[in-house]
Amino acid sequence: MAPRLLPFGSDPVRPAPPTPVTITVDGETTTGVTGQSLAGVILGSGTLGFRRTSANNAPRGVFCGIGVCFDCLVEVNGQRDVRACQRRASSGDVVVTQHDDLPGGEGE
């Protein structure tokens, strides 16, 4: 174990047990802990591609992690274009990965 990874019981910053947060990503249920961003919970589930580009259908996921690049856009509870790295996960969140076709059907 790395010296910075304290066992849960001896961590002075977070003495209470973590509260689980359960969300769904494209219909699959996944669990994180209170305080995690949606990106953290999604990554923890093993999903790396959060959306696909319009032009080349290329996968995009967390790149900057600080709300600058917009590569982590997902739909959350019916609201599109949410930056997963900037939104805290809340139990019951329904996350859907995004893809927008170019106008006229190009890029499909």
Give min distance, CB of 71 to ligand FES, in A. Answer: 5
How many angstroms separate the CA atoms of 94 and 4, rounded? Answer: 33
Give min distance, CB of 8 to ligand FES, in A. Answer: 28
> Is the distance from CB of 41 to CB of 26 less than 8 angstroms?
no
4-43: contacts with ligand FES (CB under 6 A): none
User: Which phi and psi angles does 41 have, rounded to 5°?
Assistant: -70, -40
- Token pair, residue 18, equals 């973590």
The 70-99 contact track toward ligand FES, x by CB under 6 A, reads xxx----------x-x--------------
- Which residue number, 20 or 35, has a Cβ lying nearer to ligand FES? 35
- Which residue number, 6 or 66, has a Cβ lying nearer to ligand FES? 66
Stretch that binds ligand FES, among 5-13, 16-24, 26-34, 61-69 (CB under 6 A): 61-69
Polymer length of the chain: 108
Strand 51-52 and strand 94-99: the pairing is parallel
Q: Which residue has the tokens 């890029």?
A: 107
**Footprint on this chain of ligand FES (rule: CB under 6 A):** 62-65, 67-72, 83, 85
